[in-house]
């Protein structure tokens, strides 16, 4: 069984949050644990892992490009604000 896609999904979520400016400490401290658990589940089941990885690896990618593929885009943007 190839675990690489699972590993990639697990790594992409915190990378995406950092790239979008989400303060992980603040998010986990101020009562959005249930939302983050749902976000982690969406990431673990994500079917756009390759697009996510490519966007995260490209420093010149469109800053709003994640909206086209990330099921957590709205949540992460709200948490970054």
Q: What per-residue confidence (pLDDT) applies to 74?
A: 95
Does the pLDDT value for residue 75 go beyond 90?
yes
Residues 33-46: tens digit of each pLDDT: 888 889 999 999 99
Residues 10-32: tens digit of each pLDDT: 889 999 999 999 987 777 776 67
pTM here is: 0.82
3-state secondary structure of 52: helix
Which pLDDT band, with edges at 50, 70 and 90, does 69 fall under?
A: very high
The range of the structural domain enclosing residue 48 comes to 4-80
Structural domain count, the chain: 1
3-state secondary structure of 12: helix
Tokens of 46: 């994500």
Structure letter (DSSP) for residue 58: -
């Amino acid at each position: 069984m190839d675990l690489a896609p699972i590993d990639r999904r697990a790594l992409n979520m915190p990378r995406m949050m950092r790239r979008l400016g989400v303060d992980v400490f603040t998010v986990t401290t101020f009562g959005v644990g249930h939302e983050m658990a749902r976000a982690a589940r969406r990431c673990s089941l994500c079917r756009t892992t390759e697009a996510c990885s490519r966007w995260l690896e490209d420093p010149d990618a469109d800053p709003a490009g994640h909206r086209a593929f990330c099921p957590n885009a709205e949540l992460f943007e709200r948490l970054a604000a």
